Amino acid sequence: MDKVQRFLKACEFLTRCQGTEDDPIPGTVAPWELRKSLGFQEDFHDTLQGVWAWARYRELSGDARFDSNVIDALSYIRDAFDEHVENPPEKRAKVTRLYDAAFMLLTEVQCQRSFGEWPLGEQSALCKDLLVAQAKICEGTDFIARHYTDPFFHLYCLLKWSKHHEDESFDVARDATDKGANFLVRSNFLVSMDKEPCPEGPGGHDFMSKGGAVLLALGEAGLYETRLRETLEKVLPLAKGCQEGSYVLEWPARDRDPSPFALSASWGLLSAIKAGPEVDGAMDGLSLVDPRAGIEQGSGDWRQYCSDLSGSLVHARWDEFERRNGGIGRSAEFAEAESWATFYLMYALDLMD
Chain segment 247-265, per-residue pLDDT in tens: 888 899 898 899 999 999 9
3-state class (DSSP) for residue 32 = strand
Distance CA 258, CA 108 (A): 28
Give the DSSP H or E segment for 177: helix 169-186
Phi, psi for 255 (deg, rounded to 5)? -70, -35
pLDDT digits (tens, 9 = 90+) for 291-309: 876 665 545 689 999 999 9
In a domain? residue 47: yes
Domain, as residue range, for 58: 1-136
Buried b (16+ CB within 10 A) or exposed e, 205-235: bbbbbbbbbbbbbbbbbbbbeebbbbbbebb
In a domain? residue 13: yes
Domain count, the chain: 1
In a domain? residue 114: yes
- Measured CA to CA in angstroms, residue 147 lies from 58, 76, 255, 288 at distances of 29, 24, 15, 27
- Measured CA to CA in angstroms, residue 201 lies from 62, 79, 100, 150 at distances of 38, 27, 16, 11
Per-residue pLDDT at 13: 98
Buried b (16+ CB within 10 A) or exposed e, 89-116: eeebeebbbbbbbbbbbbbbbbbbebee
Distance CA 233, CA 302 (A): 11
In a domain? residue 336: no
In a domain? residue 29: yes
Which residues lie closer than 8 Å to 9 by C-beta, 6 or more apart? 1, 321, 325, 326
What is the pTM assigned to this prediction?
A: 0.96
Summarize the confidence of residues 19-30 as an average pLDDT: 95
Phi, psi for 277 (deg, rounded to 5)? -65, -15
pLDDT digits (tens, 9 = 90+) for 184-214: 999 989 999 999 998 766 677 899 999 999 9
In a domain? residue 88: yes
In a domain? residue 240: no
In a domain? residue 1: yes
